Amino acid sequence: QVQLVESGGGLVQAGGSLRLSCAASGSIFSINAMGWYRQAPGKQRELVASITSGGSTNYADSVKGRFTISRDNAKNTVYLQMNSLKPEDTAVYYCNADSLSWSLAGEPVASIDWGQGTQVTVSS
């Protein structure tokens, strides 16, 4: 499976900005789509934004116009630029990848993998 490591979280004031990064590693054949999810305490995990290898993007209504997802295919890295942050954006943000990777038997296998998450806290 692909390993994902998020970084860039922290504490910011409302109206501020953060840039999250997620780097994928492992025996990667290809990464078809990557996305960012978030989960606030007591709430279900929700999709924030996603991007395909071709650059097509999708955003949750709650973040449209404020967040921008981008991808560096050569580095197998996805970014989430978060502007105009609001207290309700406070959550643990998780990176997700839909990928094909090489198995030990030499066969490409599909998997959906998750990072450990990075905490984003927005104060008022």
112 strand-pairing partners: 98
Per-residue pLDDT of the chain (124 residues; tens, 9 = 90+): 789 999 999 999 999 999 999 999 998 989 999 999 999 999 999 999 999 988 999 999 999 999 999 999 889 999 999 999 999 999 999 999 999 988 889 899 999 999 999 999 999 9
pLDDT at 73: 87
CA-based nearest residue to 66, from 82, 44, 45: 82
Residue type, 99: S
pLDDT at 38: 98
pLDDT at 96: 95
